[in-house]
Structure formats: structure tokens, C-alpha cells
């Protein structure tokens, strides 16, 4: 739903609420997708939210709306609800979504809900909650098809019709041995084309990708993107099939991880998770800015060290911004390219030298261009060739060093298995600030014989 | 496949090639996924690539390998192949992938291939090529199931068994009227549970999402992510169903768009598309750095304007780096949060004032903290309260203004329908550099009465 339609719908719902036009509202509630309703709810009062919620007839849709609401809206919303009513809805939801919700709740409420739920369902949820955050185990669903490898095609078709008629997305028919270990995968089409008494193990494909319950969700996403599959089977440490991760969850992961990558690079990693509060955001951004502040203070001492030069040639100061700016910007370009390249798999840590060499070449080339340009400006303004040359060389040096550091640091962090996105930003910026200022003053002092 | 396994496999393939161990190589070729083979191909000679390629038995797999190879490797690879051999493989590939390949080829080769292909298939490809880049029409496949709304469930099941047995992913059964216009959607399960003589229009769901052939692919991706669907039907301007976009293409889009977003923000937007050449990269990065260079030169003239102050108090220069750095960094944080928020739909342009107000508050708060800190350093070093206060106020001002500009500029660009990711970077950086330097010298000159 685009902005305009969203706005029109929100307005008309508000109008209908004022007129208390229940039949009309009921029609809208049951026709509009839960993902859109969640956005509309954000701008309604709590009592209006409840009034509309009660109009939804499909209990599964109520569950989707639960999952789609943002954290704050959801917590306020269910604070007023009876535990039994909440549980009635949760029991219609996929267990991975219920686990997400349980995690958001205060502990006492979460416990109460789990106790009230049917035993089988609460156990499924508690099983999921036992796996670490951001692992395959945490986001998998138990809603998969597992056929025995010694069964025939005919037996398999029968069990599909009996046991598995409720499975939402029967893309892949996983095949397991007598211990439940994953041994292969088949498809509806294969079941139909072979002769009915062929055992599955004779025609199943044994090239089946799987992940472990403790595999990082980012790895799962990479697998799905790389091999264009719709679901990944998840096995435990005994290779027993325990769940699948479906592509819709993978899409969410890919979006989240990209956002996290971007925000981490500027030191605002968790901001979208814990939004809204100014103080939380301040706390999140503080450390990154501290690194940069430290760099600035070191630059200050370096400049202080060259105070004698500066007092003789005051206009040395005038070129500090452009030299720092050019170094900082090309350094950010290099590190961004490397960080994103590593996280999408387009670059590999083993290619470190070719990547760094390429970035250094670009840095030197752009340094030559901008160094000459800025040198010409300096010459036109002060007509002092030695000074203009100093400025030029300082720009070339700082841009080359920046491209070198900007590409090498994330590569090294990647090789040390430290997240390049987190570590590169403050490190690269601070380092480049210091190097740029130092080179500039050192070169100028030498060339101008100050 | 992880780094280590990839390395081991590549090494053993190279060893087997030296020993010319054809049976062994053939086994590896037919067992390894095409996505992994494409990576291995990158490090092999052209003749070795062809030798291995000929060992692949499954012609569909050859097609996947075509799609997975990076542009350069692919162009060299097929330069040696006979047109008939290329066409034989293309005819087994989905038409959207063939269109991608045709677009990469030199025009004469592309024409020759299209002429050699079977008429039906080349027409499908040429249809796709007629749609603009990055539109739904360009990435859709004609591989969908369309059932007539006036047919019964029984008739529908029969046509699934006859006409549509080859459709790869039969998740959604689209329903059309007598003119082929999309009117609803149904599922295998629904077909089975209703009584066999019920017409589809009586039980199909009419709440079906669709996009137009000219819809931007990013919009398609948002729809899929928002509503957790596995395919989106694509209709023409008459609402006639002409194709579907499947979730595996959507995953690629989401990854590409996120990467583009990140790179655009630092002025390196197209780098992963046209990689490898240092000159191309230099050209791509040049304009963004030019904006920042211009900002630096303006800052230079501003400082020149305050030369008198500077000659009296040379250590004014020493704080330029830290004041610029703090402003620049918080400005980047603000603009990154806003740009990413807008592109993921977590922020909306209509919320401009609440977003800008929040960022300004964060900027002022962090400005107060770091302004005091840096002021204390200045006081300890020079014991000149008026100077220390100037430095503090300059830090507070530059950080507040930076957060304000950093959040407001992308919001305004978003409202004007200009891509915030492209426009904000250079604009924000340049602006903040200038403002920070100006405020600093102006405040210091006033307070120190220079």
C-alpha cells in the first residue's frame, strides 16, 4: 500500500470510528491486510485499536497483526487483554513468531502465557527460545514434511494426504532415515513420475543443503540467496531434521542485516531496534563519536607541535579542512566498498592484496587530480610555489594513505573474524584524520624550511 | 560453500586437470552446484573452463552456470562457443535469465542468437527486453498458472494435471476472466476441499496483490517483504495477467538495492556493477569528491577571512580538526539513519518534523557532552577560559547544526522524489564542513575580541 492510499484509508477509518459505523469498519478490517492494519494502528488511540481488533473475524489474521505491530504499540495493546484471549490467538500462530512475541514481553507475563498455552505448543516455543539469538534454531518452524527413505512413492503420497495436509508450503519433501536423520530431498513431481513401488532412497536427490540449529542466521540467508531455494532444512548435532527456515523469514533477515551493516559503519548499529528514545540513541552513538573525538584531540596536539611553523605562515591553517575532508571521504569510500563487498560475498578476505592495491591506485590517481587542483588554488591565492607544492603533496599523500587504510583495515578485521562493519568506521576515520594533519604539517615545514 | 571447502575443491580440480583425470572431474562437475562452479571458474584458464563445462551432463545446469558467471568470465567464455551450442543451452533457461544474458552481449552477437532461437522463445525474451531496466516487466517469468474463473474445481484440477505439469513453483493458482484479466487467486488446498463442481469465482480469494509491468522492481520487493508472499502477479495496462515475479529474484533485488543504497551514500554507487577497472572506479567516485573538495575550498576562504584572528591566536588552528570531525561524524550518522529508514519504510517523509526534532535533540545532547570535554582539554592546555568556552560553543553548534542538516536534507530530497541516498552525501558533508569552520572562527573572534 503506498503513502497516499495509506493516508486515505487511515482518515476514513478515523471518520468511521467517530460515527461509530461498525458494519462499515468491520468490512474494512476483514478486507485490509494485517501488515497495513499494523501501520494504521500506530496513529489510533488504544480504545480504538481494541474496538477495531475485535471486529477481525479471522483469528489467524489477529495473529499476523500481533507479529506486525511495532514493539511499543504491541506492549500497550496487550497490557489490557486477558491472558486467555492472548493465548487463544497465539495458538494459531507459527511457533517462531510466538517465540518472538514471548521474548518481547516482561518475564512474569511471558511465563503466565506459556503456562496457559497447550502443552505441545508451549513446548515448541520453549524449544525455540532455547537457541541463541540470530541462529537458525531460533527462526526455524517445525512445519516440514519428512518422509522415510525406505517408504515407496505410493506410501509417501498416502502420508502426504493424511499426515501433512496442513503443511503450509509443501515445496520440498525431505527424506530421513529410520533415526530421523536427513538423507535427501524429493519433490511432488518426482513422486508422481516414478513407478509407485520405488523406494524414495532410489530416486531422491542426496545433494541437500542443510544448516545446524546453531548456524548464524546470516549464513542461512546467504545459502538461500546463493542457491535460490525456498526453504533450508535445519538439523541438530546428530544430523536429525528438526525444522526448516522459510524464505519469507530469510527476506526479513537480509533486510535487517543490510540495515545493520549500514548503521554499524557509522556507529549507530542498534538504532532501529531500540528506536524512539533520544537517550538510548545518544548512548548508542556515543562510543563511535568518542573515537573520532580522540582522533581530533590527537590532531590538536600534532598541530600544537607545529605551532612555530604556524605562527610564521598562518595561512597553513586554511588548508586543514580540505586536506582532512578529501582524505576522510576517499577513506570512507574505500572502507564502505570493502565492508559491503565482504558481507555480500563479492569480495573475499583472501583477495586482500589485489583489493588493497586497487584502492591504493584509485587513491593515488584521485589524489593526483585533486592535489593538482587544490595546489593551483593555493598558488593563485598566495603565489608561493613551495607552499602550493606542499599543499599538493599533502593532498596526494593523505588521499593515498586514506584509500590504503580504508581498504586494508576492514580486510584485516575480516580475516581476524571481527565484524568489519563495526570496527572499521571509528578506526579508519580517526587514523586518517591524524595521518592527514601530520603529513600536511610535516611536508609544509620541510618544503617551506620553517 | 564456505571459504575452506571452496579452496580445497578448487585445488583438487586443478590437480585433477593437470592429471587429466576425466572420470573424476566429471563426477565433481555433476555433483557440485552451479553457483559454486561459477566461483571456481574464475580462477581457471579458458581452455580448462571449456573442458570442465563439456563434462556437465545436465543442460539446465549449464544454463544456471551461464547465469551465475560474472560478466567478464562469461563474455570470454562464450566468445569461443558456436552460436548453436549457446542457443541450445539458452532454450532451457527461464526467459528472464536469457534476457539478462542477451543484454550483456555485443549487439551483433545478441541479434544472431535471437535469430537462431526458436521463434516462441526468442519472442518471449524480446518481450521482456522491451520493458525498462529495473521494472517488474523486465524480471518477470511467463511461468505461471492461470485458471478461468468460470471453470469448476474439477476442471481446474484437470488442467493442472495436463497443461501446467511443468510449472516449477505451483504456489499460487491465479484466476482470470474470459479476457485474461486477473480477478483472484486460489490454492491447491482450496481446490481439493470444495465440492468438485463449484466454480472458482465462488471460492477464490479476490484480495490478490498485483503489480504493473512498469512498476519499479524495488516496489515489487517491498510488496513481497511486506506481505510475505512467494510470487507477485504482473499485469499489463489492461489488467491482463502477463507474468509473475518470484521470490528468488526478489532476494537478489533486496541485496542489490541495499548495496546500492550503501555505496550511493558515499558516492560510489555503480562500483560493483562495473568493477575491476581502476579508471572506471575513479570516474565514478570523482564527482562526489569534487563536491567535498569545493566545500574544503570554501572553508579555506572562510579561514582566510579570519586571518587576522588567526595571526593573533595561532592555536585557533589546532581545534579545526576536532570541530570538523565531530560535526561531520554526527551529520553522517543522522543522514545514514534517515536514508536507510526511508528506503526500508521505517521512516516516512510525512514524519519530517518529528524525525528532525529527534535528531536535533540527539545532536545537542552529544554536542553538550563533547563540547564540555573538548573545552576542558582546551582549558588544561592553554588556561584561557574565553578560548575554552569558544571551543565548547563551537563544538555544540557544529554538532547540533550537523544533526539538523544531516536529517533534514534527505527528508527534503525524499519529499521532492529525489533519491536521498545519492543526493544527501556530498551535500551534507560539504555544508557541514563550511558551517563548522565558520561558526568556530566567528564565535572565537567574538569571545576573544580579536
User: Does A309 share its domain with A421?
Assistant: yes
Same domain, B282 and B408: yes
Highest-scoring range by mean pLDDT, A27-31, A347-351, B118-122 = A27-31
State the average pLDDT over residues A421-448. Answer: 84
Instruction: Identify whether the C-beta of residue B418 lies closer than 8 Å to the C-beta of residue B349.
Output: no
Mean pLDDT value of segment B357-370: 93
Question: Is residue A269 domain-resident?
Answer: no
Ranges A147-156, A327-336, B326-335, B417-426: which has the least confidence: B417-426
Interface test with A, best of B161, B300, B407 (most A CBs within 10 A): B300
At residue A168, the pLDDT reads 64
Question: Quick one: DSSP state of residue B135?
Answer: B
In tens, the pLDDT along B416-443 reads 888 887 767 777 888 888 888 999 999 9
Give yes or no: residues A163 and A107 share one domain.
Answer: no
In a domain, B82, yes or no: yes
Is residue A271 in some structural domain? Answer: no
* A285 shares its domain with A419: yes
pLDDT for B301-351, tens place per residue? 898 888 888 888 888 888 999 998 899 889 988 888 888 888 777 788 888
Q: What percent of chain A has pLDDT over 90?
A: 31
Within 8 A of A227 by CB-CB distance, chain B residues are 33, 35
Question: What is the residue-averaged pLDDT of chain B?
Answer: 87
SS3 B35: helix
From A404, A435, A419, A431, select the one nearest A334 (Cα to Cα): A404
CA of B108 vs chain A CAs: smallest distance (Å): 30
Q: Of A33-42, B263-272, B360-369, which has the strongest mean pLDDT?
A: B360-369
Q: pLDDT over 90 for what percent of chain B? A: 31
The answer to whether residue A392 is domain-embedded is yes
Instruction: Give the one of B226, B317, B340 whose C-beta lies nearest to A35's C-beta.
Output: B226
Window 107-136 of B, Cβ < 8 Å to A? none
* A7 pLDDT more than 70: yes
Q: What is the DSSP string of B240-278?
A: BEEEEEEHHHHHHHHHHHHHHHHHHHTT-TTTTTT-S-H
Give the other-Cβ count within 10 Å of A5's Cβ: 10
Candidate from A344-348, B65-69, B132-136, B394-398 with smallest mean pLDDT: A344-348
Q: Do B272 and A429 touch (CB under 8 A)?
A: no
The helix (H) or strand (E) run that includes residue A30 is: helix A22-31
* B295 and B430, same domain (yes or no): yes
Final residue belonging to a domain, choices B98, B118, B139: B139
Same domain, A326 and A285: yes
**pLDDT band at residue A274 under the 50/70/90 scheme:** very low
Instruction: Please report whether residue B256 resides in a domain.
Output: yes
The confidence band for B392, taking pLDDT boundaries of 50, 70 and 90, is: very high
Enclosing domain of residue B413: 278-447
Helices B247-265 and B217-227 cross at an angle (nearest 10°) of 120
Nearest C-alpha of chain A: how many angstroms from B53? 19
Residue B357 in contact with residue B407, Cβ under 8 Å? no
The pLDDT of A408-437, averaged and rounded, is 84
Confidence of residue B270 (pLDDT cuts 50, 70, 90): low
Is the CB of A293 inside 8 Å of chain B's CB atoms?
A: yes
| Final residue of a structural domain among B74, B105, B139 | B139
Q: Which of A326, A345, A339, A320 is nearest to A441 (CA)?
A: A320
Please state which of the ranges A208-222, B261-275, B424-438 shows the lowest mean pLDDT: B261-275
The pLDDT value recorded for residue B272 is 59
**Dihedral, CA atoms, B371, B376, B378, B379, nearest 10 degrees?**
140
Cβ contact, residue pair B262, A267, below 8 Å: no
Q: What CATH number has the domain bearing residue B160?
A: 3.10.580.10
Residues of chain B with Cβ-Cβ distance to A300 below 8 Å are 318-319, 321-322, 377
**Rounded Cα gap, residues A154 and A159, in angstroms:** 9
What's the rounded mean pLDDT across residues A102-112?
Answer: 87
Contact between residue A431 and residue A405 where contact means Cβ atoms under 8 Å apart = yes
Residues A430 and A353 in one domain: yes
Contacts with A31 from chain B: Cβ below 8 Å: 207
Question: Taking 60 as the threshold, does the pLDDT of residue B273 lie above it?
Answer: no
Q: Is A39 a residue whose pLDDT tops 50?
A: yes
A242 belongs to a structural domain: yes
Which residue of chain A comes nearest to B252, CA vs CA?
A: A225
pLDDT digits (tens, 9 = 90+) for B186-244: 887 778 778 889 999 999 988 888 999 999 988 898 888 888 888 899 999 899 999 99
A61 touches B228 (CB < 8 A): no
User: Among all chains, which residue has been given the C-alpha cell 540467508?
Assistant: A221
Domain boundary among the residues A85, A100, A134 is at A134
Helix (H) or strand (E) holding A32: none
Q: What is the pLDDT of residue B169?
A: 63
- Find the residue in B nearest to A311 (Cα): B314
Cβ pair A311:B310 closer than 8 A: no
CB A143, CB A165: distance < 8 Å? no
B257 and B282 fall within a common domain = no
Which whole number is the average pLDDT over B354-367?
92
Across all residues in chain A, what is the average pLDDT? Answer: 87
| Residue of chain A minimizing CA distance to B170 | A171
Average pLDDT over residues A300-305: 89
Please say whether the beta carbons of B222 and B198 come within 8 A: no
Which residues partner with A205 through β-bridges? A185
CATH number of the domain enclosing B441: 1.10.357.20
**Residue B1's pLDDT is what?**
56
Please tell me the distance from the alpha carbon of residue B93 to that of residue B181, in angstroms, as a whole number.
27
Report the residue of chain A nearest B267, measured CA to CA.
A333
DSSP 8-state symbol, B345: T
Provide, as residue numbers in chain A, all residues whose Cβ is less than 8 Å from the Cβ of B311: 314
Q: How many CB atoms lie within 10 A of CB B17?
A: 17
**A265 pLDDT tier (thresholds 50, 70, 90):** confident
First to last CA, chain B: 66
Q: Is the predicted pLDDT of residue A1 greater than 70, yes or no? A: no
State yes or no: pLDDT of A165 exceeds 80.
Answer: no
Whether the Cβ atoms of residue A96 and residue A245 lie closer than 8 Å to each other: no
pLDDT band at A371 (very low <50, low <70, confident <90, very high): very high
Residue A327's SS3 state is: helix
pLDDT value at position A423?
A: 66
Domain check: are A154 and A236 in the same one? yes
In a domain, B271, yes or no: no
Q: Which residues pair with A216 in a beta bridge?
A: A135
Report B:229-268 residues touching A (Cβ under 8 A): 229-230, 247-248, 250-252, 254-255, 258-259, 261-263, 265-268
Whether the CB of B43 is below 8 Å from some CB of chain A: the reply is no
Instruction: Work out how many domains chain B is built from and give that number.
Output: 3
Model confidence at A422, pLDDT cuts 50, 70, 90, reads confident
Who contacts B347 (Cβ-Cβ below 8 Å, separation ≥6)?
Answer: B338, B341, B355
Instruction: With a cut of 80, say whether residue A269 has pLDDT above it.
Output: no
CA A213/CA A233 separation, integer angstroms: 10
> What nine digits make up the cell of B180?
485474461
**Which of B340, B341, B365 lies nearest to residue A282, judging by beta carbons?**
B365
Q: Give yes or no for a contact between A414 and B337, defined as CB atoms under 8 angstroms apart.
A: no
What ipTM is given for this predicted complex? Answer: 0.72
- B351 with B439, same domain? yes
Mean pLDDT of A361-383: 93
pLDDT of A235 higher than 50: yes
User: In degrees rounded to 5, what are phi and psi of residue A298?
Assistant: -65, -45
Residue A361: pLDDT over 90: yes
First-residue to last-residue Cα distance in chain A:
66
- The DSSP annotation for A80-109 comes to TS-HHHHHHHHTTS-HHHHHHHHHHS-HHH
Contact B325, A296 (CB under 8 A): yes
Is the domain of B302 the same as that of B188? no
Residue that the C-alpha cell 556507529 belongs to = A267
pLDDT band at B398 (very low <50, low <70, confident <90, very high): very high
From B272, B278, B365, residue closest to A358, measured CB to CB? B278
Look at residue B273 and tell me if it is in a domain: no
Which of residues A189 and A30 earns the better pLDDT score?
Answer: A30
Nearest residue to B66 (alpha-carbon basis) of B45, B85, B44, B47: B85
Is the pLDDT at B274 greater than 60, yes or no?
Answer: no
Q: Give the pLDDT of residue A273.
A: 47
Q: CA–CA separation, B140 vs B138, rounded Å? A: 6
Q: Does B363 lie in the same domain as B378?
A: yes
Question: Is a pLDDT exceeding 90 seen at residue B400?
Answer: yes
- Whether the CB of A73 is below 8 Å from some CB of chain B: the reply is no
| Residue B250 pLDDT > 80 | yes
Amino acid at each position: 500500500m503506498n503513502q497516499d492510499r495509506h493516508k486515505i484509508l487511515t482518515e476514513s477509518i478515523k471518520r468511521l470510528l467517530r460515527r461509530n459505523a461498525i458494519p462499515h469498519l468491520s468490512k474494512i478490517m476483514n478486507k485490509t491486510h494485517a501488515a497495513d492494519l499494523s501501520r494504521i494502528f500506530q496513529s489510533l488511540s488504544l480504545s480504538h485499536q481494541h474496538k477495531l481488533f475485535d471486529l477481525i473475524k479471522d483469528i489467524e489474521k489477529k495473529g499476523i497483526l500481533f507479529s506486525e505491530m511495532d514493539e511499543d504499540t504491541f506492549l500497550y495493546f496487550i497490557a489490557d487483554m486477558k491472558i486467555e484471549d492472548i493465548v487463544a490467538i497465539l495458538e494459531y500462530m507459527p511457533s517462531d513468531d510466538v517465540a518472538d512475541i514471548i521474548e518481547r514481553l516482561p518475564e512474569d507475563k511471558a511465563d503466565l502465557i506459556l503456562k496457559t498455552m497447550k502443552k505441545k505448543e508451549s513446548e515448541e516455543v520453549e524449544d525455540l527460545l532455547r537457541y541463541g539469538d540470530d541462529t537458525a534454531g531460533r527462526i526455524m518452524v517445525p512445519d516440514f514434511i519428512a518422509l522415510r527413505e525406505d517408504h515407496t512413492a505410493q506410501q509417501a503420497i498416502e502420508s502426504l494426504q493424511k499426515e501433512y495436509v496442513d503443511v503450509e508450503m509443501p515445496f520440498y519433501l525431505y527424506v530421513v532415515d529410520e533415526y530421523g536423520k536427513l538423507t535427501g530431498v524429493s519433490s511432488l513431481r518426482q513422486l508422481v513420475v516414478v513407478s509407485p513401488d520405488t523406494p524414495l532412497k532410489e530416486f531422491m536427490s542426496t545433494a541437500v543443503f542443510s544448516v545446524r540449529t546453531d548456524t548464524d542466521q546470516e549464513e542461512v540467508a546467504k545459502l538461500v540467496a546463493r542457491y535460490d531455494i525456498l526453504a533450508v532444512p535445519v538439523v541438530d548435532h546428530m544430523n536429525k531434521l528438526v525444522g526448516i527456515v522459510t524464505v519469507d523469514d530469510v527476506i526479513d533477515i537480509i533486510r535487517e542485516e543490510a540495515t545493520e551493516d549500514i548503521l554499524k559503519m557509522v556507529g549507530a548499529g542498534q538504532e532501529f531496534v531500540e528506536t524512539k528514545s533520544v537517550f538510548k540513541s545518544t548512548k548508542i552513538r556515543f562510543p563511535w563519536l568518542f573515537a573520532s573525538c580522540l582522533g581530533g584531540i590527537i590532531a590538536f596536539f600534532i598541530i600544537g607541535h607545529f605551532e612555530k611553523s604556524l605562527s610564521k605562515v598562518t595561512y597553513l591553517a586554511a588548508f586543514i579542512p580540505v586536506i582532512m575532508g578529501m582524505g576522510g571521504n576517499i577513506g570512507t569510500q574505500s572502507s564502505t566498498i570493502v565492508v559491503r563487498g565482504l558481507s555480500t560475498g563479492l569480495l573475499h578476505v583472501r583477495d586482500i592484496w589485489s583489493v588493497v592495491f586497487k584502492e591504493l591506485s584509485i587513491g593515488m590517481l584521485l589524489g593526483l587530480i585533486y592535489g593538482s587542483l587544490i595546489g593551483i588554488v593555493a598558488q593563485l591565492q598566495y603565489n608561493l610555489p613551495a607552499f602550493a607544492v606542499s599543499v599538493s603533496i599533502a593532498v596526494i599523500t593523505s588521499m593515498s594513505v586514506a584509500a590504503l587504510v580504508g581498504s586494508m583495515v576492514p580486510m584485516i578485521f575480516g580475516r581476524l573474524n571481527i565484524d568489519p562493519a563495526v570496527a572499521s568506521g571509528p578506526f579508519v576515520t580517526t587514523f586518517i584524520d591524524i595521518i592527514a594533519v601530520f603529513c600536511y604539517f610535516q611536508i609544509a615545514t620541510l618544503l617551506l624550511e620553517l
